[in-house]
Amino acid sequence: MRKNKNSLLIDIGWCEWASFPALKIPAIEAEVVMDSRLSILNVFDFSTFKEGEDLMISFGVHPIQGTDEVEVYSVVPVKTRKLVNMPDGERDWCHVIETEMRIGSLKKNIDLTLVKREDSVFRLHLSPKAINGLVRVNPQQSYLTGQILSGYVPPAVFTDA
């Protein structure tokens, strides 16, 4: 009896919760961008430095959409740099890292292109090519692997009036 390859695929929607243990990101919403070749993580406050022969990058991430209240900082080796076409038509050199990503029961090392653009609604744009052959994407559904922070409401910010 032959196993159906499709029965081994994990179903995901156009939006899913992902985590990156090595980056200390326990949860971040990912938009699955069907026509993208790159998986992009929006970062802030980044700098590079040498550690022995390795080029390292230190950066911050705001993993919760719509707020910069939660900050996570990471330091990892740079895998490479690549020239990326930005949505505004400009081209920027961006650092690429390799790290483990988890979505539901899926664990996979992927390349993440780090981009300094926090104006995007989603802080993580996931290319299906990064997890090709492991998932089946349903573009009409979301959170098929579960809701992690569905009830999260950022605390109100008080200012002196």
In this structure, whether the domain defined by 9-137 belongs to CATH 2.40.70.10 is answered with yes
Q: What is the pLDDT of residue 101?
A: 95
Q: Name the region of 133 (left: φ>0; alpha: ψ -120 to 50; beta: rest).
A: left
Residues 87-132 pLDDT 10s: 778 899 999 999 999 998 899 999 999 999 867 889 999 998 888 8
The distance of Cα 58 from the centroid of its chain, to the nearest Å, equals 16
Whether the per-residue pLDDT at 156 is higher than 60: the answer is no
Q: What is the pLDDT of residue 152?
A: 46
Q: What is the pTM of this model?
A: 0.84
Residues 6+ positions from 76 with CB-CB distance below 8 Å: 22, 23, 56, 57, 97, 99
Burial of 28 (0-12, 13-18, 19+ CB in 10 A): buried
